[in-house]
Amino acid sequence: MANLPSSSFCSSSIITAFLILQVLWSCSLLANGCYTSIISFGDSLADTGNLKLLSADKPGEESLHFFLPPYGESFFHVPTGRCSNGRLVIDFIAESMGLPLVRPFVGDNGNGIMEFRKGVNYAVVGATALDSSFHAARGVHNPLTNSSLRVQLGWFKQSWPSICRHVQDCNHLISRSLILMGEIGGNDYNHALLSGKSIDEVEIYVPLVVKAIISTVKELIKLGAKTFLIPGNLPIGCSPPYLTMYYGSDKAEYDNSTGCLIRLNKLSEYHNELLQTELKQLRELYRDANIIYADYYNAAMQFFRYPNKYGFTNGALKACCGGGGPFNYNSSIQCADPSSTLCAHPDTYVNWDGLHLTQAAYKVIYKSLFQGPYTMPRFNSICPTSMLRPIKELSSSM
C-alpha cells in the first residue's frame, strides 16, 4: 500500500502532461487551421512548379508556353509553373489554413526537408494516373512528362526516411497532414482523346485509372496518412480543345443548358461515379481515415450553367488566352505564343488557356468545397469553417 500514492501521483502526472500536450496541439491547430501540412500529388491542376523545375536543364523545354508570361500575371506577376493566370485550388487551401503556398518537391531536390512540415507538392503538369508505358503501348505519347502517380509516390517514399530523421514524431507529422490526391486521371483521358482515340476506347481506361488512385491512397494510409481530399474529374466536355475539335457537330451532341459536349461529360461522370464507389469501400476498410471526395465536377458545373451569377460575364466556354477561333483555342497557337490573344479581364472568364481554368474559377471551386456542399463527407464537418482564414483577393501586389 505504501507504493500507491507514488503510483497514483505518477499516473496523475502522466495524464496531466498528456492533457497539456493536447491543449498545446489544439492551440497549434487553431493557429494553423486544421492541418499543419499539405502533401499534394496530381497534375497541372495542382502543380506549383515541378515541371518547370524538371524542364530547366532540358534545352528547348524551358520555353514551354506555360512557363512564360502571361501565366501567373494576375497574382504572382511572373510565371511560376502554375497553369493559370494566378492561384490554383491548392493555393487557396494553403492560404485558408494559414500555411505557406505549397512548394514543389523538385525545387529542393529532396534537401529542404525541414520545410516539409509545412507542405510539399509532388504534382506535375501533364501527369497521368497510369504509367507512361501503359499509354505508349497504345500509341499515345505524353509530350510533357513521365512523372505518373506511381513516380510521384516513389518520390514521396524516397524522401520520407530523410524527413523522419528531422522530426521527433514522423507518424504524428503525416497523420496531421492533409493529403491532396490530385486532381489526377484527367490526362489519362485527355492525352488519348487528343491523340485521336475514340471515347469508347478511352472509357475502358477508367477502372484502371481509378484502381491506380485507390492503390496510392492505400499505400499512404499504410505510411500513416489519415486525411485525404480526393477530387473527381472536371467536366471535360466543357473544355475549349474538345469544343473546337467537335465544332459543328449535331446539336443533339450538346447540353442545351451549358453548351458542353454531353458524351465527354458522361466520361467524366463515369470516372467520378466509379471513384466514389471505390472510396466508399475504402472508408469501410479504413475506418480511422478521413477519406473525402471533392466534387470538382458539380462545383464547376455551377459556373458552366450560370456564369453571370459568378461574375463570368464573358461566358464559361471561351478561353481568355489562346489562338483564336470560336473558343479562342488553337492547338497550333498556344497561350503565350506571340500571335495568341489575351483578354483584358481574366477574372470575367472561366477558362484560362483551353485546358486550364482561371484563378477566379479555381476560387469558386475552392469555396464550393471548403465552405459549401461539394465534398463527401462535408469537409467542414471535419475542419470547421471557423478555423479557416480569409483568402487574399484575386489580384495581388506581391
Give catalytic residues, as residue numbers. 44, 353, 356
Helix (H) or strand (E) run with residue 287 in it:
none
Longest pairwise C-alpha distance within the chain: 92
First to last CA, the chain: 68
- Cell 475542419 belongs to residue: 383
Among residues 363, 369, 367, the alpha carbon closest in space to that of 86 is found at 363
- Classify residue 145 by its DSSP letter: -
Among residues 56, 40, 112, 52, the alpha carbon closest in space to that of 82 is found at 52
- Classify residue 344 by its DSSP letter: S
DSSP string, 3-19: THHHHHHHHHHHHHHHH
3-state SS class at 215? helix
How far does Cα 203 stand from its chain's mean position? 22
Residue 385: CB partners within 8 Å, gap ≥ 6?
370, 371
| Beta-strand pair 375-376/290-294 | antiparallel
In terms of C-beta density within 10 A (0-12 exposed, 13-18 middle, 19 or more buried), how is residue 67 classed? Answer: buried
